[in-house]
């Protein structure tokens, strides 16, 4: 019998007890995850993270006693083996940039927690970066601003089929698998298959990786965003 894989150990830091309870139920319902600790404020979040050493620490940015941003920074410094995933109501790009600069590995909005949180936990635990799809444009624009200073990757696009290339563009623009399925008239499972092939062929594990690659290859530009009615910031 093969050895059982260890579960992703998750900490939840949020000052709302009802939300923590709901998140605990959601995470513990997954076969590959378990909640190992909780904290109701920023000060306890740092202390609990040091004691429980979670794989992934879910941290709200708005908490009493120390605050989420300061707690994030202290957890990153004091628990280098833990990945910090911000869970917040703030959709202002400034918060996103500040959190990522402070060392967060991901950023998920509370309004989309059911759809994105589990994917985000798995992504950051695997070493990737996850940004809420609704803020994908922010990541794109930051990358476009730096594009001139970066060399284009060596991974060729000719190893992708036309459909895989189409799916990659849509993923980079922030569309979910369900939205892509409706747009290209296939099932959601088919879209997931295309995304899996992209990961295997190009080594693009997260949405952020796809965005970065698409920008570097010239597949995603300010003009393409404007053509979709989503003007560059």
* pLDDT given for residue 230 in this prediction: 45
68 or 48, higher pLDDT: 48
Domains of the chain with CATH codes: 8-131 (3.40.50.2300), 138-227 (3.40.50.2300)
Q: In 60-146, at which residue ranges do the beta strands (DSSP E only) sit? A: 83-88, 106-109, 130-131
Instruction: Return the number of other C-beta atoms located less than 10 Å from residue 182's C-beta.
Output: 13
What is the pTM (predicted TM-score) of this model? 0.63
Higher pLDDT, residue 35 or 156: 35
How much is the mean pLDDT over the chain?
A: 81
What does the block give as tokens for 179?
């939205």
- pLDDT tens-digit profile of 56-83? 999 998 898 888 889 999 999 999 999 9
Token pair of 113 as six digits: 């927690």
pLDDT higher than 70, residue 21 = yes
187 or 224: which carries more pLDDT confidence?
187
Chain mean position to CA 87: 10
């Amino acid at each position: 019998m093969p050895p059982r894989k260890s579960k992703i150990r998750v900490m939840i830091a949020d000052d709302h007890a009802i939300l923590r309870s709901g998140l605990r139920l959601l995470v513990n319902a997954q076969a590959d995850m378990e909640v190992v600790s909780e904290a109701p404020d920023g000060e306890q979040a740092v202390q609990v993270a040091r004691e429980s050493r979670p794989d992934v620490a879910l941290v709200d940015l708005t908490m009493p006693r120390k605050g989420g941003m300061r707690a994030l920074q202290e957890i990153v410094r004091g628990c280098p083996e833990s990945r910090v995933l911000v869970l917040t109501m703030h959709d202002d790009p400034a918060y996103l940039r500040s959190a990522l600069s402070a060392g967060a590995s991901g950023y998920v909005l509370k309004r989309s927690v059911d759809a994105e949180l589990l994917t985000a936990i798995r992504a950051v635990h695997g070493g990737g970066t996850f940004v809420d799809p609704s803020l994908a444009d922010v990541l794109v624009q930051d990358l476009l601003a730096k594009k001139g200073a970066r060399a284009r990757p060596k991974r060729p696009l000719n190893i992708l089929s036309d459909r895989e290339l189409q799916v990659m563009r849509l993923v980079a623009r922030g569309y979910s698998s369900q939205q892509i399925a409706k747009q290209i008239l296939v099932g959601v499972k088919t879209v997931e298959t295309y995304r899996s092939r992209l990961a295997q062929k190009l080594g693009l594990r997260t949405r952020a990786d796809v965005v970065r690659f698409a920008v570097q290859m010239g597949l995603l530009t300010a003009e393409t965003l404007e053509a979709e009615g989503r003007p560059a910031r």
